[in-house]
């Protein structure tokens, strides 16, 4: 085969293998990842992937100000959550609030250890993400 034909053949197959937008999102850097699941333990298993139980997903590479969950999902379907921020060099904490505007008086708690799977969902309505060790309110 002529070298040009090999190059063209490789070019065509490479062009077809370019990642889609969804693939690029999957490969994007993230320092934290939050998922809300429709099941709790024992169906939500900390030792397996629970993507099929996912009802809400957010991720990021930096702090996030308050985000309301009110219109994003039906809270009665949420039973547990997954919080991952494992990099000690870019660690973040999840702050949870009973109000969707993350008012200081509605602070209900935080996850600061960087890794929780099948963590019980307590019905909070808003969240923010802060650098590890920073105050939530």
9 has pLDDT over 50:
no
Evaluate whether residue 66 is within a structural domain: yes
DSSP letters for 71-137: TTS-GGG--EEEEE---GGG-EEEEEESSTT--GGGEEEEE-SSEEEEEEP----EEEEEETT----
Q: What is the pLDDT, as a whole number, of residue 24?
A: 58
Highest mean pLDDT: which of 41-55, 72-86, 91-105? 91-105
Evaluate whether residue 44 is within a structural domain: yes
Domain extent, residue 60, equals 30-131
| pTM, full prediction | 0.77
Evaluate whether residue 110 is within a structural domain: yes
Sheet holding 32-37: strands in order across?
Answer: 54-60, 32-37, 80-84, 115-120
Evaluate whether residue 78 is within a structural domain: yes
CB-based contacts of 111, cutoff 8 Å, min separation 6: 83, 93, 94, 96, 119
Evaluate whether residue 137 is within a structural domain: no
Evaluate whether residue 24 is within a structural domain: no
Number of domains in the chain: 1
- For residue 116, the domain's CATH number is 2.60.20.30
Q: What is the pLDDT, as a whole number, of residue 47?
A: 76
Q: How many CB atoms lie within 10 A of CB 24?
A: 10
Evaluate whether residue 47 is within a structural domain: yes
């Amino acid at each position: 085969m002529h070298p040009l034909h090999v190059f063209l053949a490789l070019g065509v197959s490479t062009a077809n293998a370019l990642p889609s937008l969804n693939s690029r999102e999957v490969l994007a850097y993230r320092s934290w990842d939050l998922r809300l699941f429709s099941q709790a333990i024992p169906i939500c298993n900390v030792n397996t992937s629970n993507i099929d139980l996912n009802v809400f997903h957010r991720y990021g590479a930096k702090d996030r100000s308050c985000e309301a969950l009110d219109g994003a999902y039906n809270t009665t379907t949420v039973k547990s959550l997954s919080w991952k921020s494992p990099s000690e060099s870019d660690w973040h904490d999840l702050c949870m609030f009973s109000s969707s505007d993350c008012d200081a008086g509605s602070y209900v708690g935080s996850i600061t250890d960087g890794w929780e799977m099948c963590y019980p969902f307590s019905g909070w309505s808003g969240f923010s993400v802060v650098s590890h060790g920073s105050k939530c309110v």
